[in-house]
Structure 1
Amino acid sequence: MPFEFIDNNTTIDRAARKRIRSRAATGKNANKTLIRPSKTTLLKNTTAAPFQAPTSLRKSHDSSVHVAVEITPPVDGGLQFPVRVRPESRYLVREALFFFTNVRHNPQLDGALVTPDNMRSLWVQFFFKDEAYFHCSVATSILCSKNQVNETAQGMRHIAHTYRLVQERLYGKEATSDMTIAILVIMSQYERLQGQYERGFIHVQGLYRMVQLRGGIVKLSRECWGIAQKLLRADLEYALQLGSKTLFGADGIEALREMGFPYVGCGEHIDPGDGSELDSYLKQSLRTDLWAAFADMRRLGVMLNDADAGHRQKLDGIDFHCSIIILGYRLLQINPLDETQATTMGDLENVIHLSLLAFLVTFLTGLDHRILDKPLLSRRLRFAINKLSTSTDAGHEGRLVHCVLMWSLCIGAAATFKYSEDEWLNPATQTAMQTLGLYVWEDTQQALAGFPWVIALHDRAAIALSSTQTLLRFSSSTDQLF
């Protein structure tokens, strides 16, 4: 057969391809018709035989014993759950597992916090141990992922199983066990994500009674600090939403302090401040416990900024989380959000206190990494800002108060204020900026330097708010020309 060479460096056109195929067809099978058996017939006539272990692996001394091992697919993808998972639900269960092993803090803080190994977490281990906890976790994951209608129906079935199993457990020996407390914590989160705060608060009240039967929150924190931490977080979240005092109060602060988390104290040591005019004014104007909370939250913000910039080691995520809970308990111990339970404070103290709560809220993202609406905090902060702005006089102290107002407006925009509030938010911000002579973001940034602030978390909302005022001023000046 003569050779014919094809130049691969040139374009191989259709004619060249045809010659290649014709040359290939002149081999040993030329002019022959190949008859291949039907694959369907082949599969019907083939019987699957079980896999036999090699002779070298057979442990029996009796050569007549036939050892056969049948290979079957792993149950539920190789993971053993406390219940049998139907094939159509396996992907939802896997999603739930990945969901609970995901990062829990705000992703914008990745540069400042060390991410814990959530796969080793007690809360993930419970997923494989208890049926009620498993069902509630899957239902919560489905709720957060906002899946299709059929998946939502599956979530309802899972939560129904949870209620049935918990009801049975509460009448047995496990009524106050660690597992039962953990299940009720997850159930409270499920109701909170649905916006059912009154119903979810019943779970938190039940948790309080169970912990009291266990000897109190301090004793529980010594026995299982992981459960105690999540329980106190749930108590704080519901208190912020409903305006009530935290159920565990001072005992909760003591329990968190005994866990030994290093980033903030409990208000015993009063920060002298940095000697600036703002610090001197605030230290003189605020009650002692409120000034201590302000200074501690500012210090925590500085630590986060330094870690994010690479100027210090990243903060431990679990220690940081507990520090936030301690600060929240301290602030609600000073005053709850419900005005009927609150003590009287001055206008400046009221704005500082509510703004610190808004600062705290930006760290308390839900399981889906969103900041849940806090309508009570938003309403109270708005009224407090308006009241302080109308009672502020001109002069040097008036300028410091407007700095406080500017910080409150920016923190509120990052935490609680919505676009629907622009009708009052923009004029209030514009007044504060004009009084302070702020025209670009860099000027605003300098005015906020002495306040609790995390660049990665709060800059975006503040830049948008201040830039809007610049655009509005430009638009107003342009309209006057015509």
Structure 2
Amino acid sequence: MLQFIDQTPGGIRSSDRRTIRSHVMRGKNAGKKRPAIRQKLEDVRMKQKANHSTKPPYSIPRQVLWSDLSLTRLPEQLDSKSTGLLHRWFFDISDALFPPQFCNKFDIIKSIWVNCILVDEAYFHSTLAISASYVNFVRRKPYISTNTLHHISQAYALVNNKLSGPNSVSDSAIAAVVSLVIYQQIHHQVATGLVHLGGLYKMIQLRGGIGKLMQENRALALKPLRLDIELAMRSGTPPVLLDETLPVRSILCDFDTDDLPHLELPLMPPMMLDIFKFSVLLNQAHSNTIPKLNPLDFTETIVALLYRLIGGVFAMPVMSDKKSNFHDLLHPTMIAFMSTLLPEYTLDKSGRCTLSSRLEDRLQETYFGSILISDLEASILVWILFISAISVLDAKNNEWLLPLLAGTIDRLQLTSWSQAEQQLKMFPWIDCIHGPPARDLWDHLRGLELIFVL
């Protein structure tokens, strides 16, 4: 039956619209049973109760996609800017820790760190404090904003509560303290970082030691180990976390030494051979001669090599004997070489200041103003000077370093960059990391007319 709705002069009223909708839906709902509103609400309550009772306390409800991170349930509601900073920090630091030119892609989404963000409020706030500390990620200029202060104060309070509770040495508790140390690294709070590193050591000992933690959660254990090295380099104090039970899956064990250039350098220590092997592997991975490395194997090899190097280097006195001086000079240079594979949280190289000071002192003590060196020593000295200049020393602002470098280049009669590069590759050298800044330094010396170029 059709029924016409007469339109009043004022137009269709709300009551008329209800009548129209009623007629339209009457045919669609014919023969259908409509449950009572009360029954609908009861069904919803029962479903919610079932989901709540079966949901595990620490789990990711679904795969997290950063493109819809704003839809993911986090411990605290974030605005779009904070979400973007969090996203940027994770991918920025992932590329710094596991360079894609050497490593397989590290799936940050499936890592323990994203899980910690979702389920642990202390780690969530400390990570937000870190990501909010950068105004510009490319320039790496740390900045303390009101947002940073809010999150770091929340993180401190939550970490203190966690450490006084039953889960004081859980994975999430260790991760939260690690993130605090990273925050302190960024803001040059070395003394506080060392205090928290000491706390981490005690926590890890209660878990059975760093060796056991490596077996239980390798990705987590590598974080405090790397921070231990970074703080030792910054403060000049020995590392504290290493013990003799540290298992190392060295990717260097099966390396064929026939791939190395034939070197007859009696002044080269055996440790340098392992660093040479590692540099060759990285060059091969970058050129796709071999498959890309597992990210954790890459990190663990760096950690293992640096622990072997860094133990007593800062306490080693400068000797008066020339040969002893040469070995003392090679030691910090190898550390400087390896430091180029560590993430630098700022671009002012402040994290390497102690190493820089020791290396500068030993260079000047051993070779400043000296021409009484053999050709063999000159060939390794040019490598020492280039590595030092592009890693921890600011060559362009060190008036003594440039003439020394130019004099050594002249001593070896290196008249072109290709010749210099060939000479440098006789020693540990990573093309994509060391090549561009070294070439820039060569061009700078040529511009100052300190070296003769054909």
| TMscore range, shorter length | 0.7 to 0.9
Distance 1:424 1:370 in 2: 20
> Is 1:280 aligned to residue 264 of structure 2?
yes
When residues 301 and 76 of structure 1 are mapped into structure 2, their CA distance, relative to the original with a 3 A threshold, is closer
The residue that corresponds to 1:309 in the other structure is: 287
The residue that corresponds to 2:218 in the other structure is: 225
How far is 1:354 from its partner? 0.9
The residue that corresponds to 2:433 in the other structure is: 457
The residue that corresponds to 2:338 in the other structure is: 360
How far is 1:303 from its partner? 1.3
Gaps of 5+ in 2: 1-9, 19-24, 45-67
The residue that corresponds to 1:347 in the other structure is: 325
- SS of equivalent to 1:431: helix
What is the identity, as a one-letter code, of the residue corresponding to 2:116?
A: F
Distance 1:475 1:336 in 2: 33
Which of residues 406, 419, 422 in structure 2 aligns to 1:430?
406
How far is 1:214 from its partner? 1.8
> Is 1:300 aligned to residue 284 of structure 2?
no
The residue that corresponds to 2:163 in the other structure is: 170
Distance 1:156 1:103 in 2: 21
Distance 1:149 1:332 in 2: 27
Distance 2:447 2:87 in 1: 46
What is the identity, as a one-letter code, of the residue corresponding to 2:246?
A: A
When residues 119 and 263 of structure 1 are mapped into structure 2, their CA distance, relative to the original with a 3 A threshold, is farther
Which of residues 188, 195, 205 in structure 1 aligns to 2:188?
195
Aligned partners of 1:385 and 1:405 also within 8 Å: no
How far is 1:341 from its partner? 12
Q: Please give the per-residue CA displacement for 1:296-355, whole angstroms capped at 9, x wherever unaligned.
A: 11111111112222322222222111111111101013x23244799x981111121111
- SS of equivalent to 2:425: coil
How far is 1:112 from its partner? 2.8
When residues 215 and 440 of structure 1 are mapped into structure 2, their CA distance, relative to the original with a 3 A threshold, is same
The residue that corresponds to 1:472 in the other structure is: 448
What is the identity, as a one-letter code, of the residue corresponding to 1:354?
A: P
How far is 1:410 from its partner? 1.1
Over 6 Å off, 4+ runs:
147-151, 269-273, 474-477
Please show how residues 14-413 of structure 1 align to structure 2 within 5 Å: 63-65=34-36, 77-83=70-76, 85=77, 89-102=79-92, 104-106=94-96, 109-146=99-136, 152-251=145-244, 254-257=245-248, 260-263=249-252, 276=262, 279-282=263-266, 285-286=267-268, 291-333=269-311, 335-339=312-316, 346-366=324-344, 372-390=350-368, 394=372, 398-413=374-389
What is the identity, as a one-letter code, of the residue corresponding to 2:203?
A: M
Identical counterparts, % of pairs: 24
What is the identity, as a one-letter code, of the residue corresponding to 1:180?
A: A
Distance 1:379 1:304 in 2: 28
Distance 1:77 1:391 in 2: 61
Distance 1:391 1:356 in 2: 23
Aligned partners of 1:109 and 1:457 also within 8 Å: no
TM-score by length of 2: 0.78
Larger Rg: 1
When residues 439 and 275 of structure 1 are mapped into structure 2, their CA distance, relative to the original with a 3 A threshold, is closer
How far is 1:458 from its partner? 0.3
When residues 250 and 399 of structure 1 are mapped into structure 2, their CA distance, relative to the original with a 3 A threshold, is farther
Aligned partners of 1:101 and 1:124 also within 8 Å: no
Paired positions, count: 400
Gaps of 5+ in 1: 1-36, 48-53, 70-74, 478-482
Cα RMSD (Å) of the superposition?
A: 3.9
The residue that corresponds to 1:443 in the other structure is: 419
How far is 1:90 from its partner? 4.0
What is the identity, as a one-letter code, of the residue corresponding to 2:430?
A: V
